Amino acid sequence: MTPGLLKMWISFAGMASMAIAIISIYFSRYKLKGFLKGIVAALAYLFMILAGIIMVIVVFSGPVIE
């Protein structure tokens, strides 16, 4: 697998993590109650932080030159 293709898959993982975070935050705010609400919200914000870190790494690593 080339470095450019690997970088693409890593960025897809970041985007998927962001989508999971968005859906989880929605459910924790509007659909869930009690203890489960806190757990889902915490996991959602962890996914959001992970996605942000992945995006920063992908963007600032620069172009892939082969």
Q: Tell whether 10 is covered by a domain.
A: no
Domain membership flag for residue 31:
yes
Report if residue 55 sits inside a domain.
yes
Query: Which pair of tokens denotes residue 17?
Result: 């993590």
Distances from the Cα of 4 to the Cα of 17, 24, 28, 50, 60, angstroms = 20, 30, 36, 21, 14
Query: Which residue range is the domain that position 34 belongs to?
Result: 15-60
For residue 8, is it within any domain?
A: no
Of the candidates 4, 1, 6, which has an alpha carbon nearest to the alpha carbon of residue 64? 4
pLDDT digits (tens, 9 = 90+) for 11-64: 999 999 999 999 999 999 999 999 999 999 999 999 999 999 999 999 999 888
Q: Is residue 20 part of a domain?
A: yes
**Tally of domains within the chain:** 1
In a domain, 1, yes or no: no
- Domain-embedded: residue 4: no
pTM of the model: 0.85
Q: For the chain, where are the alpha helices, taking DSSP H only?
A: 3-30, 35-60
> Nearest 5°: phi and psi at 30?
-115, -20
